[in-house]
Amino acid sequence: MRFLVVADIHYALKQYDWLLDVAPHYDAVVIAGDLLEISSMVDLRAQIVVLRTYLRRIAEKTRVIVCSGNHDLDAEQEHGERVADWMLNLSGLGVVSDGESFTASGVRFSSFPWWDGTETRKQVQSQLEADAALAHDHWVWVYHAPPADKRVSWGGQRHYGDPDLVAWIDRYQPDLVLSGHVHQSPFIPDGSWVDRIGKTWVFNTGQQPGERPSVIVFDLELDEAVWLSMVGGQKLALGDPAAQPAALTALPEWITI
């Protein structure tokens, strides 16, 4: 399976246009949170209308998996915790979102919501237990915050990751965890787009301005991952637990960007 991952687009419409163009070349497109931008001059309700249109159009070209980030929260539940209510009814658009999972070509994708308190955290835990029991060759998590105290959560002064995610990874040992949230991690000293916890590879796409987002592209048959950004690219051999990112000297033929 070959799929493309982005995160933290923050309502940059030119980047969504770019996704529309490249989507047909991949078996799936993953958007790992912060699709919206709470500080935008555009009202959040208007952003949601526009984003639903983009997601529907991308889903017409390939499978789409999204998860909520902290910028996507638009409602408050009875227990006082904020949620991305607009992401709870995307199945009609052909999009897998918060609390949902699906399997294709032996790869199970699980999408988890941004949790704002104990009740939503319990929902994540329940979903983990349910999805762990389902058959899969590879298990891929889509979760906006990266794990705490790893290079993918380094912000330059401190880590901004989720410690509960580390514990969940230790317990369930997924193959890949796809995140964003800490925009600068891949671009700064001591940060990275990839790290490892036990047998699990953990990723953060990073965030960049312009017409194209920073992306990670995976080919699970080749066991390769490639990170591409405006500062260049790196590749990783997923099949080697001791592998380190290496500079990308040429774009692999299997990537269409």
CA dihedral 140, 24, 2, 69 (to 10 degrees): -30
- Which of the 8 DSSP states describes residue 218? E
Q: Average pLDDT of 203-218? A: 98
Report the alpha-carbon distance of residue 177 to residue 142 in Å, rounded: 6
pLDDT digits (tens, 9 = 90+) for 86-120: 999 898 999 999 999 999 999 999 999 999 899 99
CA neighbours closer than 13 Å in the CB half-sphere of residue 184: 10
Q: Per this entry, what is the length of the chain? A: 257
**H or E stretch at 75:** strand 75-76
Q: Are 205 and 9 within 8 A, CB to CB?
A: no
Q: What is the pLDDT of residue 151?
A: 98
Residue 211 has a pLDDT of: 97
Give the SS3 label for residue 118. Answer: helix
Span 44-55, average pLDDT: 98
Q: What is the pLDDT of residues 52-85, one digit of tens each?
A: 999 999 999 999 999 999 999 999 988 899 999 9
Helix axes 44-59, 13-22, angle to 10 degrees: 10
Residue 199 has a pLDDT of 96
Q: What is the mean pLDDT of the chain?
A: 96
Q: Sort strands 2-6 and 215-219 into parallel, antiparallel or unpaired.
A: antiparallel
Residue 61 CA, chain-centre distance (Å), reads 19
The DSSP call for residue 72 is: G
Q: Which parts of the chain fold into alpha helices (H)? A: 13-22, 44-59, 118-132, 163-172
- What was the pLDDT predicted at 78? 84
Average of pLDDT values for 19-44? Answer: 98
Structural Rg of the chain based on CA atoms: 17
List, for residues 143-186, the tens digit of each pLDDT value: 999 999 999 999 999 999 999 999 999 999 999 999 999 999 99
Classify each residue of 43-65 as buried b or exposed e, where b means 16 or more C-beta atoms within 10 Å of its C-beta.
Answer: ebeebbeebbebbebbbebbbbb
State how far the Cα of 172 lies from the Cα of 126, in Å rounded to an integer. 12
Please give the CATH superfamily to which domain 2-247 belongs.
Metallo-dependent phosphatases (3.60.21.10)
Q: Give residue 15's pLDDT.
A: 98
Closest by CA position to 193, among listed 211, 174, 207? 207
Neighbours of 105 (CB within 10 A): 12
Closest CA to 218 of 175, 180, 249: 175
Other Cβ atoms less than 10 A from the Cβ of 99: the count is 20
How many percent of the chain have pLDDT more than 90? 95
